[in-house]
Amino acid sequence: MKQRLDPRYWQIGSLTVLLLYGVFVLHFEVTLLRAALIVLTAILTQCFFTKDVRSAVISGLSLALLLRSNHLWVLLLAAVIAIASKFVLRIKGKHLFNPTNFAIVALIATTNDAWVSPGQWGSVAFFGFLIICLGGLVVHRAERSDVTYAFIVFWGAVVIGRSLWLGEPMTIPLHRLENGALLLFTFFMISDPRTTPDSRAGRVLFAALVALGAGYIQFRLFRTNGILWSLAITSCLTPVIDLMFRAERFTWKGSTQCEPPRSLSFSS
């Protein structure tokens, strides 16, 4: 039987196209040189631990698209933290945090020179990227599409439900959902098969907790980047969820990574 193409290649291609479109057409607040240095730093850090760098490329591209800083060293540090966290922060051999999410939250929490720029996407870029993301799920039958769909449903319910409760026009919640950063989170971060719970029931529960936590952080605590904070916090519950709903652990098909024994880690 013909071996299916590793879904990470589709992710790398999608993120690269979006980055190039953002730099040259939408004029993102990141230069091509900075983006290349971020990706290179992620690759070099990954090479310190293992030879398989596909996941590092995804993490580097994701950081280049999401994270902003006035200083290059902050962005490069983010790449190092993201990749190193996969190998250092583990429970029973399984990555605890999504690497890109952990790096972004860690730097936002500890420095005054790191932020996420969610408002940089135009409507054309949003819908074009949405088609690419959905195409990736269909073409490659993504291993964690269930958590992606579940999060979309739960987060949409939180955002739209709040607006209905407050009597806001539907244009407001729909505008909140029309966000390129949200697409990156939904299709490349929370769907990371190496950091989500092993069972389908556990992943649906995980998606619900992330959405509810994000709603509380964003609409009750009035903090920005609620979904990023919520994912980092909820990831601490993944080992508990795995104990509640036991299932076979995910591994990349044909992966040559020489990592510590698998057990729990925007893509790994």
For the segment 138-177, what is each residue's pLDDT rounded down to a tens digit?
545 555 678 888 999 999 999 999 999 999 999 999 888 8
Task: Tell me the backbone φ, ψ of residue 68, rounded to 5 degrees.
Answer: -130, 150
Q: How far is CA 139 from CA 64, 73, 183, 252, 268, in A?
A: 25, 37, 18, 17, 20
Q: Where are the domains of the chain?
A: 7-244
Q: What are phi and psi of 252, to 5 degrees?
A: -65, 135
Q: What is the pLDDT of residues 231-264, one digit of tens each?
A: 999 999 999 999 999 877 766 565 544 444 332 2
Of residues 222, 212, 229, 231, the one with CA closest to residue 158 = 212
pLDDT of residue 266: 37
* 116 φ/ψ angles, rounded to the nearest 5 degrees: -105, 140
At 6-64, the pLDDT tens digits run: 778 878 888 898 888 888 888 888 899 999 999 999 999 999 998 889 999 999 999 99
Cβ atoms 183, 129 nearer than 8 A: yes
Q: What is the pTM of this model?
A: 0.86
Exposed, middle or buried, 235 (CB in 10 Å: 0-12/13-18/19+)? buried
85, 97 Cβ separation under 8 angstroms: yes
Looking at residue 134, its pLDDT comes to 63
Assess contact for 129 and 179: CB atoms under 8 A: no
Mean pLDDT in the chain?
84
